[in-house]
Every structure is written in structure tokens, then in C-alpha cells.
Amino acid sequence: VQTCALPIWHKLRRAIWTVAYMLLFRTSPRPFHGWRRMLLRLFGAQLGADSFVYPTARIWAPWKLICGAASTIGEDAIIYNPETVQLGSHAIVSQQAYICGATHDYEDPAFPLRAYPIRLGAYSWVCARATVQPGVNLGDGAVLALGSVATKDLAPWTVYGGVPARRIKARTVTQPK
């Protein structure tokens, strides 16, 4: 957990990224994944081969994003990452999903920002409109079902659903081809 008082250089970097996002990233045609990978890498993202980030996906701080090979961030997904967000290989963040890496300390009158790292394991899947709360991690192969909210870490190769998300069943593990 990190208390964040964002320095001026961070705010400047975010401003430059916002302009690049609006002019170059968001306007890129849907199949131009290589172009968007290049832009994200220019801003410090670490992206594996064949990672796919769609043009309407919103990444708050590319320099705090790590994506393994063949990972996907879908349409209108939001990655709010004042701390590192890491997607393992083949991890999927579906359309309109929200990965929230920070909150505020409401017990402190100054209301400081509290940022947490998040890890989505290899072959994990955050389904459409699902939310991962600050500091929550998904094990390898974990699935967070449609519209669910992960408030605690999700065990590997398990399907979770609901608000808050609860274990539904084990996921059948099959070897990738």
C-alpha cells in the first residue's frame, strides 16, 4: 500500500499521456493493435508479444502497466493504476471491466490517496462490467463473472460471481494449444 501525493512530474506525464491518448491512441482503427502497443511502450508500458489493447480502453498510467504475452484489454475497459497492474500471459480484461488500483483513506481528514498493486494471473478473465477492487489479485486461471465485484483475492482456476464475488465452482484446467 502506498500513500500517494502525486508529484508535479507525475501530473505532467499524465497530461502528456492524456493528449497522446486522445489524439493517437483512441482514434486508431480497431485492428491497429501494434500501433497502440508502440504508443503504450513509448509511455513505459511493458507489453508481451501479441498483447491486444483496444482503442477505447483507458489506461491511467501506462508506465505502471505490465502485460504478458497474448493478454487483452477490451473495449471501454478501465485500468486505473496509480500502482502497478500486471496481467499474466493470456489474461483478459473484457469490455467495460474496471480494474481499480486506488482508493482514499476516509479515516484521515486529509483523505489521502491509497494505491495498491494488482496482479491478474495467467489465463485469468475479468468478464464484462466486472470490477476488481484495490489490492485484489486473481490467481492463474481465475474467472470473475459478468458484473461481479472482487473484494478479496480469487483462488487459481476457480470461477467467482456476484456482489461481492463468491466462489461458484472450480474451473476445468485444459492445456493451451
Segment 130-141, tens digit of pLDDT:
999 999 999 999
CB 162 within 8 A of CB 176: no
User: Could you give the CA distance from residue 153 to residue 137 in angstroms, rounded to a whole number?
Assistant: 5
CB 25 within 8 A of CB 46: no
pLDDT band, residue 26 (cuts 50/70/90): very high
Between residues 113 and 2, the one the model is more confident about: 113
Residues with Cβ < 8 Å from 18, sequence gap 6 or more? none
Query: ω into residue 55 within 30 of 0, thus cis?
Result: no
pLDDT band, residue 4 (cuts 50/70/90): low
